[in-house]
Amino acid sequence: MRTLAATLISLCLFAVAAAAQAPHQGANGMPKPEDIRAVAPALEGYAQKFIVDDLWKRTGLSRRDRGIVTVAALIARDQIVELPHYLALALDSGVKASEISEIITHLAFYTGWANAMDAIPAAREVFKSRNIGADQLPPALGPQLSLDEAAEKQRATRVGEQFGQTTPSLVEYTTDVLFRDLWLRPALAPRDRSLVTVSALIATGQVAQIAYHLNRAMDNGLTREEAGEVLGHLAFYAGWPNAFSAAPVVKDVIEKRPH
């Protein structure tokens, strides 16, 4: 595992260096209201009326959680133009720099390495503008959260029986890297890590994975009302089809959970 970690870190450093040298798309490219109005007046009106004046003020999900959900969705969909704005908004809404760092790391595994790397330049500029240094970010290695060994053994056994003969590497990495390492990193609370995962799955239309991770999110403290609000929020940031594709799964999970 230490060899694997060293290899992954080397790849990350190489990718970040390459991203820094490449033209940076959209770091300061979010259109201003007047720019939107010049092209699509109705769009600017909808944005003000429903996103600024309504969506972000709804009480079913805190502004902090909305920041987490939005950042997760933008990274998952590799939509970098608006990312600096929403990273700043997330920080202003109570999300810590250490949590943003961990969200990006987490999403490398759940939405692909390249998407996480694309988020690095935007986050670096936002951190730099706020004098956020390495001392405010989670270390690469350190103490981990405790693991529910019985539950993890059950999960690993089930996945191993299903896919161990077909793709042993996937099964091994899932156990060793994700559930015995990534999910135990303390800089992002389990409930928030689950919220990031569910948001990314909904935003990218990965319906098959939602039930497991939504149940995990609710085991970790996400409420029924919050789960429903995540769908309403993501309709604006990932599109109505993705929200409605996920809605039956979310409904089924909520209805089957004990009250």
* pLDDT one-digit tens code per residue, 33-87: 999 999 999 999 999 999 999 999 999 999 999 999 999 999 999 999 999 999 9
Positions of E strands within 112-188:
none
Reported as a pLDDT band with limits 50, 70 and 90, residue 157 is: very high
Report how far residue 210's alpha carbon sits from residue 232's, in angstroms, rounded to the nearest whole number: 16
Residue showing tokens 């019985």: 150
In 3-state terms, what secondary structure has residue 150?
Answer: helix
Contact 240, 218 (CB under 8 A): no
Give the list of residues 6+ apart from residue 116 with CB closer than 8 angstroms, or none.
75, 104, 105, 107, 108
| pLDDT the model gives residue 259 | 79
Task: Using CB atoms within 10 Å of the CB of residue 30, give its burial: 0 to 12 exposed, 13 to 18 middle, 19+ buried.
Answer: middle
CA-closest candidate to residue 238, choices 60, 15, 78, 47: 78
Which residue has better confidence, 137 or 5?
137
For residue 230, give Cα distances in angstroms to 115, 220, 241: 21, 16, 14
Reported pTM = 0.88
Query: How many residues are there in the chain?
Result: 259
